[in-house]
Structure 1
Amino acid sequence: MRARVEELLGGHVTEAVTQTGGFSPATAARLLLDTGRRAFVKAVAPGVNDVAVSLYRDEARVAAALPPGLPAPRLLTSFELDGWVVLLFEDIDGRPPAMPWRRDELDRVLAAVDELSATLTPAPIAAPPIAELLGQSFRGWRLLLTEDQDGLDPWITRHLAALAELESGWERAAAGNTLVHADLRADNVLLTDERVYIVDWPYACLGAPWFDRLGMLPSVAMQGGPRPGELLTDPDPAVTCVIAAFAGFFVRQSRQPPPPGIPTVRAFQAAQGEVAVDWLRERTGWS
């Protein structure tokens, strides 16, 4: 695999710096070649996490189709070898946002997200509807109706049937013709002095133009940023419906065993779930 990477990049790798962060059980490294060329490689091995292998294939397909000029790293090439799925991107000399969030950086990122949503409306590439991509995931409250409810927040238990009903309308509420990233968090953002780059696009789909801003706000609050209600004030009931879907997803997923190779993701989901539930409590006004 390493020899194939060097063949495709036209030189020998003299330095590989592992990039930390995110929730993928795979290799991610910035490469320097003896030719002076730089590139970024991400590669997932077989037998660790089958979902990750599928996501890397999806990301390769989406990244190859994204139009030039978007604030997303350009895919150089991708290949599969002995069960590995390998993606090679242009190297972005950037850094993740500081944690906890700094307001100036957050404002930059949110402005970039809004601008990107406008640019991607209508979607410039073929992509599945958001309901098709996330329909099986955004059923958290409905699934919890039939599962063990020990340890749930009393407010959730008291309103679980109503939450399940509210969640059930999220597919219609989130529909749209914008190409959305659908997995936007600080670990999928790179900052340079001139630009905000959005990375990791395996979940790209068609949805409402506000979906990406909404989806990243629970993680913003749990990582030291403002509360979601301060950053998205649209009173549209459709927004409340999608918040309910996110909250149900985070809460239920946080109660599941960790997926293979990703031991920390459940705690991250639980923290986002707390924020999303508080936001939902504010939006609904339910006591």
Structure 2
Amino acid sequence: MDGAAVAIVAPGAVDAAWLERALNAHGPAVTLAGFRAEPVGTGQLAETWRFRLDYAGAPPPGAPASVVGKFSCAEPAVTAAAAELGLYRAEVMFYRELAARAGIRTPRVHLAAIDDGGRDFVLLLEDLAGARTGNHLEGVALDDVERGVDEAARLHAATWNDPVLETAPWVYRPAGCMGFHDTAAIRASWQWFDREIGGALAAEVRTALLAWLDAHPAWLARQSPARCFTHGDFRADNMLFEDTRVCVVDWQTASYAGPALDLAYLVGGALPRTVRREREDELLRRYHARLCALGVTGYDLEACRADYRHYAFAAVVVALTGASRTRRTPRGDRLFLRMVSDAVWQAIDNGAVDALGV
């Protein structure tokens, strides 16, 4: 799976021989007569392609009809930023070291390789083309949100106060409640966002957001009473809905952080505000009950509620920095504006702004 003998290439350099080497490294030997490639998804940090495989003769049992390849972004500035933050390495190492025991549904990995500088990488993953792809901008049905909540609980319970993750060199462990960006970076990202996109924010959202920016150092410093492995961008665009499970992809922003980060992130952005306000306590209780059923102790409902309230702002961090540092697209602008607005309304509705003390 680590792909030591398989070269890291750009999507345009993939050929049948390369795919054969990648598939044969950790699976039954296959011979390809050819393949067809097509772009997949809307990612702004990486390039994702589907490779439909044509076998020479009958393929061995279990050989995939297609695979999905993920590669570094073609834009050097984006790749440099991702490497600086360790985003590509985080995803590759998740698939190498943790996915098999993380409790959460993820694609099977055929190849996970990255260069020493953390700039060039390749993942070759199970193709879940039969699953239904989530779309953040279109919203998420309540039953799908419930299934996403269950997956978050599985991941967090499986990695709760995990002694291996507390010391593993590949795991990003932020000093505060979130990582990757300090207060100066967040405020600089806001300046870009406000100039380019933020004019459409409601006045109440803007006021609350500015209060959070003023209080950001204290907000960032808060620690949860527990830690677990978190996805960090837990929204519909990164989910594939199967009949009974939700497969979660795009692990670049993963870290060892506080519980309820992924919960707040999902619930705050998936549902219309009126529905969220009606159902979020039910969803929070569902998450907490799942944690307890999976063996988590010493984390009561009020601690979970406090983490949920605090992490209402988590999507703002990702949206501000994502908007200013990734490849800009019209959909991206709409997405990041929506993420900021939804998250700040969530913070307002849950008293997170009042809790800032400003």
**TM exceeds 0.5?**
yes
> Contact between 1:166 and 1:241, CA under 8 Å: does it hold in 2?
no
1:142 and 1:203 map into 2 onto residues whose CA distance is: 16
2:27 corresponds to 1:7: no
Distance 1:229 1:28, change over 3 A: farther
From 217, 227, 230, the counterpart of 1:177: 227
2:76 corresponds to 1:64: no
Q: Which residue of 2 aligns with 1:165?
A: 215
Give CA-to-partner distance per residue, 1:2-38, whole Å, 9 cap, x none: 2322322243243334322343441321432415432
Q: Which residue of 1 aligns with 2:335?
A: 268
Per the alignment, in what secondary structure is the counterpart of residue 26 of structure 1? Answer: strand
2:144 corresponds to 1:95: no
Distance 1:19 1:162, change over 3 A: closer
> Contact between 1:253 and 1:269, CA under 8 Å: does it hold in 2?
no
Q: Which residue of 2 aligns with 1:231?
A: 280
Higher mean C-alpha deviation, range 41-50 or range 200-209: 41-50
> Contact between 2:91 and 2:251, CA under 8 Å: does it hold in 1?
yes
Distance 1:30 1:210, change over 3 A: farther
Per the alignment, in what secondary structure is the counterpart of residue 42 of structure 1? Answer: strand
How far 1:89 moved relative to its partner?
1.7
2:336 and 2:244 map into 1 onto residues whose CA distance is: 31
Per the alignment, in what secondary structure is the counterpart of residue 172 of structure 2? Answer: coil
2:173 corresponds to 1:137: no
1:57 and 1:141 map into 2 onto residues whose CA distance is: 21
How far 1:56 moved relative to its partner?
2.8
How far 1:274 moved relative to its partner?
1.0
1:67 and 1:136 map into 2 onto residues whose CA distance is: 22
Distance 1:22 1:47, change over 3 A: closer
> Contact between 1:167 and 1:245, CA under 8 Å: does it hold in 2?
no
Overall identity of the aligned pairs, in % = 20
2:252 corresponds to 1:202: yes
> Contact between 2:51 and 2:69, CA under 8 Å: does it hold in 1?
yes
Q: Which residue of 2 aligns with 1:44?
A: 72
From 316, 340, 354, the counterpart of 1:247: 316
More helix by share: 2
Letter in 1 for 2:19: V
Higher mean C-alpha deviation, range 233-242 or range 20-29: 233-242
Q: Which residue of 2 aligns with 1:105?
A: 144
Distance 1:88 1:141, change over 3 A: closer
Equivalent runs, 1:115-126 vs 2, <5 Å: 115-123=154-162, 125=165, 126=168
TM-score (norm 2): 0.64
CA RMSD of aligned residues (A): 3.8
1:11 and 1:62 map into 2 onto residues whose CA distance is: 29
TM-score (norm 1): 0.78
1:263 and 1:146 map into 2 onto residues whose CA distance is: 18
> Contact between 1:133 and 1:203, CA under 8 Å: does it hold in 2?
no
Per the alignment, in what secondary structure is the counterpart of residue 122 of structure 2? Answer: strand
> Contact between 1:78 and 1:88, CA under 8 Å: does it hold in 2?
yes
From 79, 87, 110, the counterpart of 1:55: 87
Per the alignment, in what secondary structure is the counterpart of residue 58 of structure 1? Answer: helix
Q: Which residue of 2 aligns with 1:19?
A: 40
Gaps of 5+ in 1: none
Per the alignment, in what secondary structure is the counterpart of residue 114 of structure 1? Answer: helix
2:175 and 2:187 map into 1 onto residues whose CA distance is: 17
Higher mean C-alpha deviation, range 17-26 or range 58-67: 17-26
Letter in 2 for 1:265: G
